[in-house]
Every structure is written in C-alpha cells, then in structure tokens.
Amino acid sequence: MWGICSDPLICAILKLIAVLLFILLFHLLLEPLIKKKATKTKTEIDDRIVGLITGPTYLLIVSIAVYEIFKGFFSNPALFERILFSLIALFIAWAISKMLDLFILGLVEHSKWNKEAKKEFRKNAFPLIIKLVRVVIFLIVILIILDEWGINIGPLLASAGIVGLALGFAMKDFVENSLSGLIILIDRPFKVGDKVELESGIVGIVEEISIRTTKIKRYSNDIVIVPNSQMVNARLINYTKPDTIVRVEIPIGVAYGSDPEKVKRILLRTVKKIDEVLAQPEPWVWFVEMGDFSLNFKVYFYVDASNKMKAIDKYLSKIYKELKRNRVEIPFPTHTVYLEKTRGKKK
C-alpha cells in the first residue's frame, strides 16, 4: 500500500486514515465484546475501568500515531517529542487517579461496613480523599514534565516544601478533624439519629456527621456543631447503643422515725404503676444511707431512652402523693440555733 505513495505528505495522511479506521473498527467490533465480557463478572469495577479508559486510550493512540507519521515534517522533532511526552504523562496521571477512584470505591463496596457507613463514606470522605490523591499525583507529574522541558525544579521543590510546611501548620485543625471524621465513619461509635451525651454535658440527637464536624440537636431545639476531633477524643455516652434501654436512678429521702421496710414497699409499688417503666428488668429499691437529715433510699428502674424524662416526672409526682397519703414525712434540712442570754454588769 505504501509503495504507491509518491508524495510523503499524502502517504502520511493515508497512514493516519488507516490508524483511524483501525480505531473505528476496534470501537465497533471489539469494544462491545470486551464490555459484554466485563458485565458477566460479579464486580462492577471492570465495567467502570473499560468505560473510563477507552476514550482516552483512543486519543493517546492517535497522538502517538500523529507523532510517528508526521515527525519527519518537523524541523525541530525534539519539541514535538516533549509535547507528546507531556500529553502521555498527563494521560497516565489521569488514568492512575481514575484507577485509584475505582480501587477505593471497590474496597469500600466489598468491605464489611453497613450500607449507611458506605453511603456516608461516599458522600463525605471519598471526595476529600480523591481530591488529595489527585493533587499529589498531578503535582508529581507536572514536576516530571517541567524537568523534561529542561526547567530546573530544585527551587520549585524548595518553595513547595516551605509552602507545604506553612500549609501544614495552617491546616492542622482541618486535617485533624477530617481524619477524626474518617475514624467516626469507619469505627461508627455513633450514627445519625443516636442520642448522645458528651463529656461537656451536651445532650441531644446526632443530626449530621460531616467530614469535619458533627451536628447535635439539643432538646432546647438548637444545633451544636462539634469538631470531630473532640467527638473522637472526649468520653461520650451513646444512649442508643447497644439498644435504647437505659437505667434510671432516683434518690428519695424520708424523715427519721419512718419504717424502712414500709418506705421500700411504697417506693416499689409506685414505680410499678408508671406505664413507661419496663417490667423487665424489674425495678428495685435500696436503703443506701442514714444521712444528716434523712433516711436515704434509691429507686432503680429501666425505660426506653425516649421516655426517660417523662418517667421521672410521673414517678416523682406520684411518689410525693403516695408518701404524703401514707403519712411518711419528707424532711428538709433544718438548723437549730441556741442563743444564750447573758446579763451584763452595770457600771
């Protein structure tokens, strides 16, 4: 075929047309077979890989073909080689970043995390991770390209180190909170909808977990935004884990002279009348202390976390009436002051 080409330019154009025809045939005949083969596998990763690399691969082939066919027409082939090298390097960087996208998503999809954890990771953590990975990959490739073009990258590396150090200090809190967010998403000490109490005394329902912060809606109907580093490092009570059942402890004091056994019967009988109190585990009462002003008892019972305050309110209202009806006195602190009257001497 090439022997009939008397004009080098026409011959080069024919070669390029042949390459394009080959790509077209591959696209129409072989590519559908490869995609069909990929769809038969259990994972979707190979389907995504085929869909990602086909188009850019065609462009890369055309670029290499253009270089090989037309390099004889350029007075400065070295310049064209550098341009081609730069394009190939950028393509490789793009391909690696896309492969890492699929690799990370594949690891998450095949992990033992629950559906909610995977969803939160894809929504919050994955975009940040892949952006950081892409920045690192393309920075490395750009430095390689600059070196290929004969640009001294030594000063750039030194400047990049200084800038990186400054950014490291500036973004310390951001990075710490982001890593803590990843720990929360992976370890799952709490999830959206859980009732939590922080070491600082904040109590509420987890409304949102983002990569940097956690939003907690308090019962006063306001939102508290807590950095994830504090959520990870502070002691935290999750009232929803392992289930929503919580124990309630109520101190009760009665006056000296009261019959302890009678008081315990009244306290226990009354707590069993509260609808929100669970029958199992059974409530119980302890006589715990003979205090300065009262005989002190503690009542223990279990409720669902959502009914805790309602149960406490009902029990205190009922037990006050029951103790009063059974003539059991509820004391309050008193102090007796004795004044000694002395007769002064007359002068």
Confidence grade of residue 71 (pLDDT, cut at 50, 70, 90): low
Q: What span, in angstroms and rounded, lies between the C-alpha atoms of 11 and 24?
A: 20
- Residue 1, pLDDT > 60, answer no
What are 116-174's pLDDT values in tens digits? 666 666 766 677 777 778 888 888 888 888 888 887 777 766 776 776 677 666 667 77
Domains within the chain, CATH numbers bracketed? 181-238 (2.30.30.60), 245-325 (3.30.70.100)
Q: Which of 104-108, 218-222, 271-275 has the lowest mean pLDDT?
A: 104-108
**Which DSSP string do the residues of 100-117 spell out, in sequence order?**
HHHHHHHHHHTSS--HHH
pLDDT at 75: 63
The contacts of residue 191 (CB under 8 Å, 6+ apart) are 116, 206, 209
Sign of the CA dihedral 318, 321, 327, 332? positive
Range list of H helices, 149-227: 154-170, 172-187
What's the pLDDT at 152? Answer: 77
Look up residue 264 and give its two tokens.
Answer: 């315990």
To the nearest whole percent, how much of the chain has pLDDT over 70? 74
Q: Which has more confidence, 70 or 235?
A: 235
Q: What's the whole-number average pLDDT of the chain?
A: 79
Helix, strand, coil share (%) of the chain residues, nearest 5 = 60, 15, 25
Is the CB of residue 8 less than 8 Å from the CB of residue 72?
yes
160-207: pLDDT as tens digits: 677 667 766 666 777 777 778 777 877 778 888 888 888 888 888 999
